[in-house]
Structure formats: structure tokens, C-alpha cells
Amino acid sequence: MATGTETSADYIKHHLTNLVFGQHPDGTWGLAHSAEEAAAMGFMSINVDSMFWSILLGVVFVLVFRSAAKRATSGVPGGLQNFVEMIVDFVDDNVRSIFTHQNSMIAPMALTIFVWVFLMNLMDLVPVDWIPMAASAVGIHYMKVVPTTDPNITLGMAFAVFLLVIYFSIAKKGLGGFLGELLFHPFPKWAAPVNLILEGVTLLAKPISLGLRLFGNLYAGEMIFILIALMYSGGLIMGIFGGVLQWGWAVFHVLIITLQAGIFAVLSVVYLAQAHDVESEH
């Protein structure tokens, strides 16, 4: 919550600023100590907190699912095995209904995307002050704990899917077939430049919309949690009201974080299914 020496604007700005490592104007490398320093570092910088939490949650995913796989039994399954099997069956059913081609990597990729994005989204339910205050106590100025509120993370994942789409489009259709889709649809061949513009925009819009949709929804959700947290510094009545709002928004947000993880995974499978379609329907 905002303190007596910190304005609401300062509080919001602090919680929405990444811990950035990059090159300072004097040529030295280090962490930025303000949003202005972070902006001055430009493209050749890294959001340390986003990378740390996304990698950590990826490791958590691997360890949990590996543990469940090692303990799997054909007898009465335990709680962890039941939980993991439920997630695997859910993802597998969705992939089978969307992806009608033969590719053994699609279902594992969809499972990885769904669980990893869900875990990153789940960090949005951690009270907004807990981890930043703990980080501040050990001298870390900024700490954003929800990786999917960083467009670098969401767009990075989206463009990784996009590269797979390009790869499989060329692998399944050939370079000529892939270029033919861009040049000769939806209008006749003589309108190839127009087709290229239309199809090129459509192709590039896929990763951008995929990444920005996830970022926008989670960023808005985190902003609402931060605004609710400001109410705790407004007195007893406002604090109680803020607690009720926070609980209600957290319950509703469980649906949002799950839905956004599912949308990202499903759309990734849809785009890859289109890449495998040898005869695209236009």
C-alpha cells in the first residue's frame, strides 16, 4: 500500500516498473534505479524480474510434472497424478479436436504453453505488496512478479509459435506453396502485390495479437489489484471495502488467468494446424 511519503502515482509507477539490467549512459552495466534509467538503457537491456519468474515457474512446471510421471501407477492414483492427468486429458482432447494432422510435438507443446502461461498468470493472485516489499528489504528496487504483464515475455512466446508456423508452413507446403498462399490469395494472380499486403498483414497479425491479448488482459488485471491495494491506506472503512473488492476480484480473476492460458494454447494449435493444411481454404 502507499505510504505517507509516497503518492498514489509513485506507488502505481513503482509496482509497474521492471527490474532492468543494461548499459548506463556512462558506458557501465548494471541495474536501473529508476524508470527513467530503465528507459534510457534502450533495446539492449533485460527485464531481470520477468526472466527470473518465468524461468522459475517453467522449472516448477517441469519438476511437478516429472514427479507425477515418476510416481504414476496403474492402480489407485494419488492426488497429484489425478490433477496432472486431468490437465493432460483436457489439453489432449482440445488438440485432437483442432489438430487433425500427424505431429507428435503439438500436444506436448500445447501442454507446455497452457501450464506455463497459467503459472505465470497465477502470480497475479499474490498480494501486490508481498514480494516487492521482501525484495526491497534486501536492496532490490523493483520486482514485478507477473511475467505475462511484460510484453517482452508474451510477444517472445508468441513469436516462438510464429517461427514454428513459418517452419511447418514451408516444410509441409514447400517454399513455393507457402509463397503461393501469400501471393495468389484471395484475389487472382494478377493482383499478387495486393494479395501479398493483405496476406502479409494477416500473417504478422497472428503473433502480435496472440502476445498483446495475453499482455493486455493480465496487465489490466494487475492494475486493478494495485488500485484496490491503494484503498488500504484510506482508513478502516476503505480498507475493509478494499479487502472485499480484492477477494471478489481474485475469485473472478481465477477464471481470467485460466481462460487466457487456454486461449493462448488453443490459438497456437489453430495456427499450427493451418500451417499443416496443404490446401488452404480461402
DSSP assigned state of 32: -
E strand or H helix at 46? strand 45-47
The predicted pLDDT at position 1 comes to 56
The predicted pLDDT at position 2 comes to 56
E strand or H helix at 36? helix 35-40
**Amino acid letter, 53:** W
Q: How far is CA 18 from CA 10, 132, 139, in A?
A: 14, 11, 15
Report if residue 133 sits inside a domain. Answer: yes
Give the 3-state secondary structure of residue 230.
Answer: helix
Nearest Cα residue to 120 out of 163, 59, 164, 69: 59
Q: For residue 171, give its domain range.
A: 8-276
Find how far residue 106's CA is from the centre of its chain.
Answer: 18
The predicted pLDDT at position 212 comes to 96
Neighbours of 107 (CB within 10 A): 17
**Residue 166 in grid coordinates:** 513459418
User: In this structure, are strands 45-47 and 29-31 parallel, antiparallel, or unpaired?
Assistant: unpaired
Report if residue 2 sits inside a domain. Answer: no
Say whether 209 is catalytic: yes
Q: Active site residue: 209, 233, 268, 280, which one?
A: 209
Round to whole Å and give the CA distance between 137 and 116: 29
Report if residue 118 sits inside a domain. Answer: yes
Sign of CA pseudo-dihedral 8, 13, 19, 20 = negative
The predicted pLDDT at position 3 comes to 56
Report if residue 3 sits inside a domain. Answer: no
Q: Active site residue: 50, 195, 217, 268, which one?
A: 217
Q: How many residues does the chain have?
A: 282
The DSSP code sequence of 128-176 is TTHHHHHHHHTT-------GGGSHHHHHHHHHHHHHHHHHHHHHHHHHH
CA angle, 112 then 264 then 48, to 5°: 70
Round to whole Å and give the CA distance between 270 and 273: 5
Segments in the chain below pLDDT 70: 1-5, 279-282
Q: Is the distance from CB of 269 to CB of 110 less than 8 angstroms?
A: yes
Q: Active site residue: 8, 34, 213, 233, which one?
A: 213
Residue with cell 480461402: 282
Report if residue 59 sits inside a domain. Answer: yes
Report if residue 173 sits inside a domain. Answer: yes
Report if residue 50 sits inside a domain. Answer: yes
The predicted pLDDT at position 279 comes to 65
Domain tally for the chain? 1
Phi, then psi, of 20 in degrees rounded to 5: -110, 135
The predicted pLDDT at position 159 comes to 96
Neighbours of 72 (CB within 10 A): 13
The predicted pLDDT at position 80 comes to 87
Report if residue 102 sits inside a domain. Answer: yes
Say whether 217 is catalytic: yes
